[in-house]
Each structure stands twice: as C-alpha cells, then as structure tokens.
C-alpha cells in the first residue's frame, strides 16, 4: 500500500493519492499507528496538484492528520502545541460546511474535532449528524463516541445503552475494532459496578480482537484495564504481568498516554507488594514525562491529575500529611480542568482518605458518596474504596456511614464537586 501511495504521489495523481491515504489512514488511526499515519498523510497533502482535488477530500486528510498528530508519541513544545490547536480551530470552522450524507467518514471526524472546541451543543449536533449519515459503520462509531462522552459525564445509563446499541451493529458488520471498543466500555461499566468476572471476560475478548488487528495502543490500554481488575481480585502477580505487558507495548509504540498511566498503575502495584522504592521511582518517571509536556497538551490534565493523586496517596501513607494535602489540592484543581467526572471522582477518593486521616469521618464518607455521584457508580471493588469503607463503618456505625454516604451521593453535580474540594 505504501509503495502504491508513493507511486501515485510521484506520478502527480493527487486525487488517487488522497483517496488511498484516506483509506489506509483510517486503519492506522484505529490501530494506533499515529506516527506512521502522520508521515504519509503529510506526503499525500504534498503531492503536486492536490490543490485542485475536491475540497472535502483534502479536508479529510487534513483532519486525519490533525487527529493523529494530537495522539502521536512526540513531545510537543509550547509553540508546536499552540500551532496545532490553531489548526484544530481552523478545521472546526471549515468542517461545519460538510454534508454528512455526502462524506460520512468526515462527518464522524468532525464530531471528534468538535470535542476540542469545548462546544458541547456543537459536538452533540455533529454526533447526531454522523448517526444519520446513512453509513452503518459511521453511525455505530458515532454512537460509541457518544457513549465515551457519557462516560466523561458520569452518565452510566446512557453509556450502557449506546454501547450495547453500537455493539449490536459492529457484531452484525463483523468489525473487530468496533466490537473491541464496545466490549472495553462494557468491561469498564462492570468493573465500576463490581461484576469483576464479567469485566474480566469482556476485557479478554476485546484484547483478543485488538491483538488480531495489531492495535498496540488499544492492546496496552486493555492490559492496564486487566491489571486493574486483577488488583481488585487481589491477584497482584497477574496484575504485574499485565502492567508490564502494557509498559512493553507503550515503549515499543511510543504511546505517551499508556506510558504515563502504565507507570502510575505499576507504582500502585509496587506499593501493594511492599516495593516502596520501585513505587517511588515509577511515579517520579510518570511525573517527569508529564513535565516535558506544555500546559494544554491533551495528556497534561488527565495524566497530571491521576499521577499527583497517586503521589499524594503514597505521601499520606508515608506520613507526609501536609505535603500530601498540597499535592491533592493541585491534583483536584487539575482534575476539574479536564471536565472528566471519573477523573475528578478518582482524585476525590484520595480526598476521602485524607479526611479519614484527619479524623473527619463524616466528611470522608460524604466524599465517597459524592465521588460515586460523579462517577455514576459506587465502584465497591475499587481498592481504596474497599479499604476505606469498612474503616468508616467501624468508626461511624453502619447507619452513620450510610447516612453520610447517601448525603454525598444525593448531591447535584456542582455541589458534589464542591464537596470533594480538598481541605
């Protein structure tokens, strides 16, 4: 395929080169080969005569290039990041004129670009346009994308409905990438609901599909999901094996997301096995990678929030309470900036641990409830929640704990966010 693309470019057959680049580019994008995609998409756009090709074909390649560049392994400096964000803003405006039924794949991509704009109404409208594009695969992918947005909002009911709807279509189409994506999401829902056997089965099925596709990013991420389930099952040996596999894949593929979250997860596993030196080294490696990124990088907020929260928890365990408090305050402020409610909830659980350490047990139980409200599920097998809950029940009594927990869980979103603010 690359030889064909090179030939078309050398011959100046711009229209054919863009069409081939678009087809291969989708495969690269879905399998996580972002660097390779960026190289050849740029090549296609450089072919002589490309300016005369239909605008929507050029726009497809430009949009795919922007998405792959944003997800690539390279470390961006502030100037490069600023230029990239400017391109996304420009693309977002130009994509508004796209006819979803005439260019379904581009209609799907413009939904993703709208995510970067921060305009919720625009994004939801574009998702609906993609669903109504007349292309079954595009419609299912758009529904799956909407499920991912629902996850960020902590709307588990909508997340489940859309995931199951998309899965039905992908199964009928025999699309392994789509099935893997849906099974991974169902596994996450089941993890948070405490059905670990179902979660394990769904993650393993999804892993089989992505391995067949050679999607290294997804394979690394699924290994981390599996490691989390094994930690919850107290099988730390299996958890370490999965985490190490994720690290190996992220190192080979250069994925920044998996490399950072993988180190955070491995730090947690190391702490639970009593290897505190390794835990400290791993979390510092994660922080160091994050420090190489400018503010505003897509990974900066999510990765920094989770890493700082883990560091704060470890410092609390080590007895560095005030340092832990400072870290947690920064982690929470960073988490709020992501607008990702499960991330905020995860940081909030560490806040509950801090409150319990301070002897404010009612606040700790209320924080656990507020975190459940934002997450959209109780997450009873979450290791920190499973450890803290019996301690608070012992201190407050079952009735006292349930009352405080229910008070937190019954809050509206804004009040729940306020309740989790570290003190």
Contact yes or no for 299/263 (Cβ under 8 A): no
Q: What is the C-alpha to C-alpha distance for residues 347 and 363, in angstroms, rounded to an integer?
A: 15
Q: What is the C-alpha to C-alpha distance for residues 310 and 350, in angstroms, rounded to an integer?
A: 8
Most confident option among 16-25, 98-107, 198-207? 198-207
Q: Which residue has the higher pLDDT, 214 or 256?
A: 214
Q: Which residue has the higher pLDDT, 206 or 2?
A: 206
Residue 116 has pLDDT above 80, yes or no: no
93, two tokens: 């405006």
Sign of CA dihedral 58, 59, 63, 69: positive
Q: What is the C-alpha to C-alpha distance for residues 90 and 365, in angstroms, rounded to an integer?
A: 46
pLDDT confidence tier of residue 254, bands split at 50, 70 and 90: low
Q: 363-393: per-residue pLDDT in tens?
A: 999 999 999 999 999 999 999 999 999 999 9
Residue 215 has pLDDT above 90, yes or no: no
Eight-state DSSP code of residue 237: H
Contacts of 50 (CB under 8 A, 6+ apart): 14, 17, 18, 44, 58
Quote the mean pLDDT of the chain. 88
Residue 347 has pLDDT above 90, yes or no: yes
Residue 40 has pLDDT above 80, yes or no: yes
Determine if the pTM surpasses 0.75: yes
Sign of CA dihedral 134, 135, 137, 138: negative
91, two tokens: 């693309």
Taking Cα atoms as reference points, which of 320, 321, 244, 325 lies closest to residue 278?
Answer: 244
Other Cβ atoms within 10 Å of 281 Cβ, number: 15
Sign of CA dihedral 214, 217, 220, 225: negative
Q: 75-93: per-residue pLDDT in tens?
A: 444 555 555 567 777 888 8
Contact yes or no for 215/31 (Cβ under 8 A): yes
What percentage of the chain has pLDDT greater than the value 70?
92
Eight-state DSSP code of residue 235: -
Contact yes or no for 73/35 (Cβ under 8 A): yes
Contacts of 227 (CB under 8 A, 6+ apart): 238, 239, 240, 242, 243, 246, 265, 269
Most confident option among 29-38, 177-186, 246-255? 177-186
Contacts of 387 (CB under 8 A, 6+ apart): none
- Domain spans, the chain: 320-423
């Amino acid at each position: 395929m690359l030889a064909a693309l090179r030939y078309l470019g050398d011959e100046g057959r711009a229209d054919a080169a863009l069409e081939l680049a678009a087809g291969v580019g989708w495969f690269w994008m879905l399998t996580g080969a972002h660097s390779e995609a960026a190289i050849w998409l740029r090549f296609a756009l450089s072919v002589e005569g490309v300016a005369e090709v239909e605008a929507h074909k050029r726009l497809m390649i430009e949009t795919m290039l922007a998405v792959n560049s944003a997800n690539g392994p390279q470390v961006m400096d502030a100037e490069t990041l600023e230029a990239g964000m400017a391109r996304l803003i420009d693309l977002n405006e130009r994509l508004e004129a796209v006819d979803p039924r005439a260019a379904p794949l581009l209609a799907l991509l413009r939904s993703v670009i709208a995510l970067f704009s921060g305009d919720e109404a625009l994004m939801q409208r574009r998702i609906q346009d993609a669903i109504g594009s007349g292309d079954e695969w595009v419609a299912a992918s758009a529904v799956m994308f909407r499920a991912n947005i629902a996850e960020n909002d902590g709307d588990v009911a909508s997340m489940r409905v859309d995931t199951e709807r998309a899965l039905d279509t992908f199964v009928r189409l025999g699309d392994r990438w789509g099935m893997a994506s849906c099974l991974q999401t169902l596994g996450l829902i089941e993890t948070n609901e405490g059905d670990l056997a179902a979660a394990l089965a769904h993650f393993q099925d999804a892993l089989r599909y992505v391995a067949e596709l050679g999607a290294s990013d997804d394979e690394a991420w699924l290994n981390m999901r599996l490691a989390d389930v094994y930690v919850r099952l107290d099988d730390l040996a299996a958890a370490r094996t999965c985490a190490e596999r994720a690290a190996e894949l992220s190192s080979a593929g250069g994925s920044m997301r998996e490399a950072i979250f993988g180190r955070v997860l491995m730090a947690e596993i190391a702490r639970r096995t009593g290897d505190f030196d390794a835990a400290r080294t791993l979390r510092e490696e994660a922080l160091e990678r994050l420090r190489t990124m400018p503010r505003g990088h897509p990974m900066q907020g999510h990765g920094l929030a989770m890493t700082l929260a883990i560091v704060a928890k470890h410092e609390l365990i080590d007895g560095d309470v005030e340092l832990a408090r400072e870290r947690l305050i920064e982690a929470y402020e960073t988490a709020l900036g992501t607008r990702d409610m499960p991330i905020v909830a995860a940081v909030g659980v560490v806040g509950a641990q801090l409150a319990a350490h301070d002897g404010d047990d009612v606040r700790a139980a209320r924080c656990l409830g507020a975190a459940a409200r934002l997450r959209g599920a109780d997450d009873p097998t979450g290791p920190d929640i499973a450890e803290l809950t019996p301690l608070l029940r012992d201190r407050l009594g079952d009735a006292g704990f349930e009352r405080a927990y229910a008070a937190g869980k019954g809050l509206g979103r804004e009040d729940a966010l306020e309740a989790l603010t570290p003190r």
